[in-house]
A and B are shown apart, each in its own frame.
Chain A
Amino acid sequence: MSALYSLLAVLALVAAGLEGGRTGAGRDALTLIVPYAAFTIFLAGFCVRVLRWAWAPVPFHIPTTCGQQKSLPWIRQAKVDNPSSKWGVLARMAAEILLFRSLFRNNRARMAEKRLILGESKFLWLGALAFHWALLLILLRHLRLFIQPVPAWVNGLERLDGFLQIGAPQLYISDVILLAALAYLLYRRFRDPAVRYISLFTDYFALFLLLAIAVSGVLMRYFVRVDVLSVKQFALSLAAFRPVDLRALSPLFLAHLLLVCTLAAYLPFSKLMHMGGIFLSPTRNLANDSRRKRHINPWNYPVKKHTYAEWEEEFHDKLVAAGIPLEDEDAGKAHTD
């Protein structure tokens, strides 16, 4: 059900984008208010979430580890999976962010021959890696629309991505990979009953939204061509805060824009914040040195102590009067008994 609702939500967005540009007010909303609002929400929301995380207390080092801890000199330490130094942590985070190291360890439990088997399950890792890298490449390629003159490295990326001479405009390899990976990730959610059971509206919504963005982009590039000149002029004018109303912007482009804006505005409130959150995972970004180094909770205030000895001293006379044995005086006696 949640899949259907999220699909309907995305389709509603697409329809709004396609039809919204018919009236002048609708155009203004789509090309002016929505982009700026979405960008503001994205930036402010992102910063607020990261800063709130930054101010959350992480008093102790609590990394989860997957290898031999630093120990006796002849025992080989897993320096990346169980880092004890800053550099180890850096390497671990790099492996996490660039290669999705944790996901690589993904397992799948199943029963076979009357016993539990933990088998490999690498397709999620592969699909996720392919999707994220393709998305990064596509985002960087889009810089050609926001920067004038276009930096040489952006052109270089385009050349590399369009290396295969297929059609004109040339097919981008990243487009194919992105669509295939998204399709797989969606298929995976539907296929596995366990995953389907835990999937919520937001899980499907993010996927459908990304899929809709990718499909509308692919349509604009390869099938229903849009005028890239006006698109770039529009993007630059937005960046310069001098928006121009361009009638040449096609409905499909407006739909693409609305979807992207929705994604940007939605991102800070969604699980997609793992984009920033991954950097702040305390189970990953800290060195495992708790047994070598004493980590003192930095905001520990001085606790007012009242020891038994002090208490006994305070009530010394009363205790003696009541015939209760005193510890400091009787201690030796008791021993000798």
Chain B
Amino acid sequence: MRDRIWIVAGLAVFVALITAPFWRARRDVGDLAKLPVLTLPANQTQCVAPVAYMRASHMKLLMAWRYQVVREDERKYVAFNGKVYQKNLTETCLGCHNKEQFCDRCHAYAGVPSPYCWSCHNQPQAGASAVSAAALQPQAQPAPGARRSPDRLLSRMSGWPVSPVPRRAQ
């Protein structure tokens, strides 16, 4: 009986904690649906893989490149559209993308702590040649060719091509 006050208070605290994201969201309702403003490359329209794949799985590609370059001495990457790239974080990736305005902003938004890549890998001296700022809008449709992916179940689950990364990659 005398404890009811404490129980109700505890319940109130619990409800407040659980609904905290809602209260926070009400406070800055204007900004929320906005995705981070990312500086996209000005001189390129196509990344080394479809955007949808890169957005979800760029880390897999980077790990595969890392393994192939360092351990297998394979440095050429033939992209899905036949273009050939150097497997090189600093020159190829950062040649187009700016770390602070691209990588870091997205990572901060998604709450992914900065990976340990940067404790060794450098940014190119000139910096990215990008100028156009654009909010990244989610793609309405998976990239073309998604349904042609060999692994149908996984493709269905993810909604886009599962792996343009060569199979031998680690």
Q: What residues of chain A have their CB less than 8 Å away from a CB belonging to chain B?
A: 18, 43, 46-47, 50-51, 53-55, 57-58, 143-150, 154-155, 158-159, 162, 165, 167-170, 219, 223-230, 232-233, 236-237, 239-242, 244, 246-248, 250-252, 276, 279-280, 298-299
Contacts and interface: CB of A to CB of B under 8 A. Distances in A.
13 contacts: A50-B7, A54-B8, A144-B111, A155-B113, A168-B62, A225-B57, A228-B110, A232-B109, A236-B25, A237-B33, A242-B33, A246-B138, A280-B7
Contacts of A276: 11, 14
Contact of A149 (B8, B22, B108): B108
The main secondary structure of chain B at its interface with chain A is: helix
B148 interface: no
A168 B115 contact: yes
A233 B111 contact: no
Nearest to B151: A224
A158 B111 contact: yes
B25 A224 contact: no
A233 B35 contact: yes
A289 to B, nearest CB: 15
A54 B4 contact: yes
Nearest to A216: B157
Contacts of B33: 233, 236-237, 240, 242, 244
Contacts of A46: 14
A173 to B, nearest CB: 15
A182 to B, nearest CB: 21
A118 to B, nearest CB: 35
B136 interface: yes
A226 B26 CA distance: 27
B29 interface: yes
Given A232-B110, A240-B33, A248-B139, A168 B60 contact: yes
B121 interface: no
B159 A229 contact: no
Interface of B: 1-4, 7-8, 10-11, 14-15, 18-22, 24-26, 28-29, 31-33, 35, 52, 55-57, 59-60, 62-63, 106, 108-113, 115-116, 136, 138-141, 154, 156-160, 162
Nearest to B155: A224
A135 to B, nearest CB: 15
A229 B111 contact: no
Nearest to A53: B7
Contacts of B62: 168
A272 B59 CA distance: 37
A225 B29 contact: no
A229 B136 contact: yes
A55 B4 contact: yes
Given A148-B109, A229-B110, 12 more contacts: A51-B11, A55-B4, A148-B28, A154-B111, A165-B116, A168-B59, A168-B115, A229-B106, A232-B109, A233-B138, A240-B32, A241-B26
A61 B157 CA distance: 55
Nearest to B34: A233
Contacts of A148: 28, 31-32, 109
Given A51-B11, A150-B111, A159-B113, A240 B56 contact: no
Contact of B19 (A43, A154, A159): A43
A150 B108 contact: yes
B30 to A, nearest CB: 9
Contacts of A170: 115
B24 A147 contact: yes
B50 to A, nearest CB: 12
Given A227-B55, A240-B26, A240-B29, A43 B63 contact: no
